[in-house]
């Protein structure tokens, strides 16, 4: 059973991170007109490598501190605006829309990977 | 609702806030050109105040939504014009036109509509992804 879990683990992790990132971008879009709101984003690569325990230095023990430590809480950090706005809001709709569509496509891709892995497993189980 | 859990909470509330904004625009445009007999009675345009909600969540999970917390009257001076023959004119023959900047309101309407659409787009995209996730492995 743990073999199957391991087999699907990376994609399930990626899926939940992509979902989290989508929700953060949804928050940014929701707050596109709120004065002084600061746009946030999730560093997917950093979170993923934290989960996979890879980084610039290999982690062999749970007490090891990963070298790529996120600066802020749980990998969520503020986005650097391309242009400052007068009301202190750093949401740029074009940027958010682009990020959102990219992230959705990547979510779909991960889903497809998972689907084909599962169907591969199913055909191996059935032995057809 | 004491907490925000998913994108439906986030974008749903944002849509409600944008709707308040659209309603204020509609009220302002409906009252543009109205004439009153005194400065105090004249219509002044109203604007919603947006505020980030669940900002404390934002520090940990990055999630936050928005609410139109109040609707404020803009402190603009109504336009005074001399129309002594007008039935509502004051003793000096002046009437007061509603303090509504129609161009500004039209821009506001377009922006609010755009952002409402953006939120709908987010919800429908995530809904489609959720539906695909539910049929995983089939």
- Chain B closest CA to A52's CA: distance in Å? 20
B30 part of a folded domain? yes
Test A118 with B18 for CB contact under 8 angstroms.
Answer: no
Phi, psi of A59 (to 5 degrees): -100, 120
Query: What predicted TM-score, i.e. pTM, was given to this entire model?
Result: 0.82
B70 part of a folded domain? yes
- Chain B closest CA to A111's CA: distance in Å? 7
What's the pLDDT tens digit per position in B113-138? 999 999 999 999 999 999 999 998 87
Provide the pLDDT for residue A71: 46
B2 part of a folded domain? no
Q: What is the DSSP string of chain A?
A: -HHHHHHHHHHHHHHHHHHHHHHHHHHHHHTTT-TT---EEE-HHHHHHHHHT-SSS---STTPPPSS--SSGGGEEEPPPSS--TTS----HHHHHHHHHHHHHHHHHHHHHHHHHHHHHHHHHHT-
% of chain B residues with pLDDT over 70: 96
B1 part of a folded domain? no
Tokens for B40, please give them.
Answer: 């105090």
Provide the pLDDT for residue A105: 95
Q: Determine which of A45-59, B8-22, B44-58, B96-110 has the lowest per-residue pLDDT on average.
A: A45-59
Question: What's the CA gap between B72 and B27, in Å, rounded?
Answer: 13
Provide the pLDDT for residue B1: 47
Provide the pLDDT for residue B107: 95
In chain B, what residues touch A115 (CB-CB under 8 Å)? 136-137
Provide the pLDDT for residue B46: 93
Nearest by CB to A29, which of B112, B118, B136? B118
In angstroms, how far is CA B3 from the centroid of its own chain?
23
- Chain B closest CA to A68's CA: distance in Å? 19
Which of B9, B7, B13 is closest to B127 using CA atoms?
A: B7
Provide the pLDDT for residue B130: 92
Question: What's the CA gap between A100 and B24, in Å, rounded?
Answer: 30
Which of A47, A24, A41, A103 is closest to A76 using CA atoms?
A: A41
Phi, psi of A16 (to 5 degrees): -70, -35
Give the residue on A whose Cα is nearest the Cα of B15.
Answer: A30
HEC readout, chain B: CCCCCCHHHHHHHHHHHHHHHHHHHHHHHHHCCCEECCCCCCCECEEEEEEEECHHHHHHCCCCEEEEEEEEECCCCCEEEECCCCCCCCCCCEEEECECCHHHHHHHHHHHHHHHHHHHHHHHHHHHHHHHHHCCCC
B36 part of a folded domain? yes
Total domain count, chain B: 1
Query: Taking each helix axis from N to C terminus, what angle separates B7-31 and B102-134, rounded to the nearest 10 degrees?
Result: 160
**Complex-level ipTM:** 0.82
Provide the pLDDT for residue A4: 84
Domain that holds residue B122: 7-136
Test B61 with A20 for CB contact under 8 angstroms.
Answer: yes
In chain B, what residues touch A37 (CB-CB under 8 Å)? 52, 64, 66
Test B66 with A40 for CB contact under 8 angstroms.
Answer: no
Mean pLDDT by runs of 10 across the 128 residues of chain A is: 83 90 92 89 84 69 65 70 87 92 95 93 89
The average confidence (pLDDT) of chain B is: 88
% of chain B residues with pLDDT over 90: 50
In chain A, what residues touch B132 (CB-CB under 8 Å)? 108, 111
- Chain B closest CA to A115's CA: distance in Å? 5
**Angstrom distances, CA of residue B27 to CA of B45, B96, B112, B118:** 8, 18, 14, 23
**Angstrom distances, CA of residue B35 to CA of A53, A108, B39, B72, B77:** 70, 57, 10, 21, 13
What's the pLDDT tens digit per position in B40-81? 888 999 999 998 888 777 667 778 888 889 999 988 888 888
B29 part of a folded domain? yes
Question: What's the CA gap between A75 and A66, in Å, rounded?
Answer: 13
């Amino acid at each position: 059973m743990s073999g199957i879990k391991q087999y699907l683990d990376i994609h399930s992790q990626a899926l939940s991170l992509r979902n989290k990132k989508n929700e953060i971008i949804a928050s940014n879009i929701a707050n596109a007109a709120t004065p002084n709101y600061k746009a946030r984003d999730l560093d997917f690569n950093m979170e993923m490598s934290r989960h996979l325990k890879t980084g610039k230095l290999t982690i062999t023990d749970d007490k090891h501190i990963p070298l790529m430590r996120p600066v802020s809480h749980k990998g969520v950090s503020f986005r650097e605006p391309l242009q400052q706005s007068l009301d202190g809001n750093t949401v740029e709709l074009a940027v958010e829309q682009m990020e959102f569509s990219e992230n959705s496509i990547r979510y779909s891709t991960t889903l497809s990977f998972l689907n084909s892995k599962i169907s591969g497993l199913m055909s191996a189980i059935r032995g057809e | 609702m004491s907490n925000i859990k998913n994108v439906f909470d986030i974008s749903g509330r944002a849509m409600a806030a944008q709707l308040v904004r659209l309603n204020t625009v509609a009220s302002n445009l409906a009252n543009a050109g109205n004439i009153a007999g005194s400065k105090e009675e004249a219509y002044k345009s109203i604007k919603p105040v947006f505020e980030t909600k669940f900002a404390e969540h934002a520090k940990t999970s990055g999630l936050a939504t928005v609410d139109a917390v109040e609707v404020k009257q803009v402190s603009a001076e109504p336009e005074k014009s001399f129309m002594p023959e007008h039935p509502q004119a004051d003793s000096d023959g002046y009437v007061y036109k509603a303090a509504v900047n129609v161009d500004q309101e039209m821009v506001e309407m377009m922006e609010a509509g755009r952002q409402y659409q953006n939120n709908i787009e987010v919800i429908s995209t995530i809904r489609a992804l959720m539906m695909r996730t539910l049929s995983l492995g089939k």
